Structure 1
Amino acid sequence: MLVSAAHPDDVDFGAAGTIARWTAAGVKVTYCIMTDGDAGGFEESHRAGITAMRAREQAPAAGLVGVDGVRFLGQRDGYLEASHEVIKQVVALIRQVRPEVVMAMHPERGWDRIQKSHPDHLACGEAVTRAVYPAVENPYAYPELAEAGLAAYKVPYLWFYGGPRERDNHFVDVTDQVDAKLAAIRTHASQHPDLAAMDARVRQSLLENAARCGLDEGRSAEAFHVVGVNTPDTFAGF
């Protein structure tokens, strides 16, 4: 499984419970963090070292949910675009990892809470979508990658998180993973001036997701928009 995020901490908010559940079942997960997070944080005193700080926060956060592979693309925070430079980076990584599932932030803006639709989030989703189809499975897209030994690969499933509520079509019960998810989020200490409020809001959101998909009261869930790309129900062409 390859999970992409625009900034350090995005994946922990969006999918860390599901990832913890998958890694506990033996699934190998790799993170792709697209930007260096240099525009994050709230303390002026952190400016000089914020990039290194955020990288140091992401590694243990990943470890708390069973992830030991974190790749940084090094793009500038706030300037991420679905450019061919970024798409090529994603294609190369997908061809290296060859995951059953590629997960990314949603490329569509959600008007119910616009904060989850940061422009970098949308760019992350668009870049990954364009990488997954058609570039990663086309040996003639970025031919230098194939020449370097990174053969074309067909991704079975694309999962999005953090998108418009009306796009959600799959929910994962993460009741047993809530504590691990929150521990991962808290590891990004530079980003949270009010940990109690953050904790309460995340817990409430997970409860609301569970109610939306019909789970018993008190259960928690993460929500996704799942797209089949190369499955028994899909075919090439229009």
Structure 2
Amino acid sequence: MTDEGRTAADDRSHTRIDRALVIAAHPDDIDFSCSGTVAVWTDAGVEVTYCLVTDGDAGGFDRDVPRSAIAGIRQDEQRAAAAAVGVSDLVFLGYPDGRLTVTLELRRDLARVIRRVRPDRVVVQRPVRDLDSMYGSHPDHTATGEAALCAVYPDARNPFAFPELADEGFEAHSAGEVWVLGAVAADDPATLRHVDITDTFDRKITALRAHVSQTAHMTELEDMMARWAGSGAKRAGFPRGRLVESFRVLDTR
């Protein structure tokens, strides 16, 4: 049986780590993309940290809510969503929503988080635009993905990069691997990992519903997520009825 055809029960090698760090641009990005996988990991004893680059202060739909209140609301929603899948360690970097670029400052701040958490695995957003999906190619996502990869290599592992981090007590750290969110047709199947989230799907939906400001209006949220995860499972060769989240795995050693 190929890796692509294994269920979580068949292969738990993806949980054989101690710490994982998930980096994303906005509150709710993680829950739409990989919170089912996070729940699988935390159930297996993996310590997971979330790093949110922005507070999502440009999001929301209710014009009666003051813009000044949105950041705090979305932070609270993300904390509740994280708790639903077993995560309590969250970092908010506070960059402006909708205006992210790959700056040295962002690379430094992400390298600081990597050095503090010292993860075995870092999960990042896809750093390149998907020409088949405008929705999946928010510029904040691609900027965060690129900055996160730069932070993994070379910034976090190079003791001479951003010397102020060492002065702060954050020594260099090399993460063993990077998991890039999602899978596209051009990806080499040998680089893909598909995590069976069938047993954690309900917690994924609970996490998404915690983002009230973003999902309260979505009456078909569960059906949409089930279609996405079911389609991914079918493409990966999983048995009928299974649900998966997919990643491209990069060996950074």
State the TM bucket, normalised to the shorter chain. Answer: over 0.9
**Residue 50 (structure 2) pairs with residue 31 (structure 1):** yes
Q: CA deviation at 1:163?
A: 5.6
How many Å separate the matches in 2 of 1:139 and 1:206? Answer: 40
| 1:9 to 2:28 alignment | yes
Q: Distance in 1 between matches of 2:215 and 2:185?
A: 25
> For the residues of structure 2 that align with 1:32 and 1:165, how far apart are their CA atoms?
28
Code of the aligned partner of 2:242: R
Q: Which residue of 2 aligns with 1:158?
A: 178
1:61-100 equivalences in 2 (<5 Å): 61-100=81-120
Pair 1:185-2:205 in alignment: no
Q: Does 1:222 align with 2:245?
A: yes
Q: Where do 1:4-153 residues align within 5 Å?
A: 4-48=23-67, 49-153=69-173
What letter matches 2:46 in structure 1? V
How far 1:120 moved relative to its partner?
0.2
Q: How many residues align?
A: 230
| Residue 165 of structure 1: how far off its partner (Å) | 4.4
Structure 1 residue 90: Cα displacement: 0.5
| Separation (CA, whole Å) in 1 of partners of 2:49 and 2:238 | 29
- C-alpha offsets along residues 146-187 of structure 1, whole Å, 9 cap, x if unaligned? 122211111100011146443371110111011000110111
Aligned-residue RMSD, C-alpha: 1.2
Q: Which runs of 5+ in 1 are unaligned?
A: 231-238
Where does the alignment leave 5 or more consecutive residues of structure 2 unmatched? 1-19
Q: Summarize deviations over 1:100-153 as a string: whole Å, max 9, x none.
A: 000111101112222111000001100100001111111110011112221111
**C-alpha separation in 1, matches of 2:81 and 2:115:** 25
Deviation at 1:46, TM superposition (A): 1.9
Cα distance in 2 for partners of 1:193, 1:23 equals: 26
Amino acid at match of 1:70: L
Please report the TM-score for the alignment, with normalisation by the length of structure 1. 0.93
- Structure 1 residue ranges (4+ consecutive) displaced by more than 6 angstroms after TM superposition: none
SS class of match (1:116) = coil
Secondary structure of 2:241 counterpart: coil
Q: Secondary structure at the match of 1:44?
A: coil
8 Å contact kept, 1:13–1:185: yes
The answer as to whether partners of 2:127 and 2:146 remain within 8 angstroms in 1 is yes
Instruction: Tell whether the 8 Å contact from 1:110 to 1:165 is kept in structure 2 after alignment.
Output: no
Alpha-carbon distance, 1:192 to partner: 1.9
Give the aligned residue type for 1:212. Answer: R
Identity in percent: 43
Contact 2:179 2:249 in 1 (8 A): yes
Whole-angstrom CA distance in 1 between matches of 2:135 and 2:79? 24
Q: Is the 8 Å Cα contact of residues 232 and 246 (structure 2) preserved in structure 1?
A: yes
Q: Measure, in 2, the Cα distance between the counterparts of 1:162 and 1:50.
A: 28
8 A contact 2:106–2:147 mirrored in 1: yes
CA contact (8 A) 2:111 2:151 kept: yes
Q: Distance in 1 between matches of 2:60 and 2:91?
A: 21
Contact 1:110/1:163, CA 8 A, preserved across alignment = no
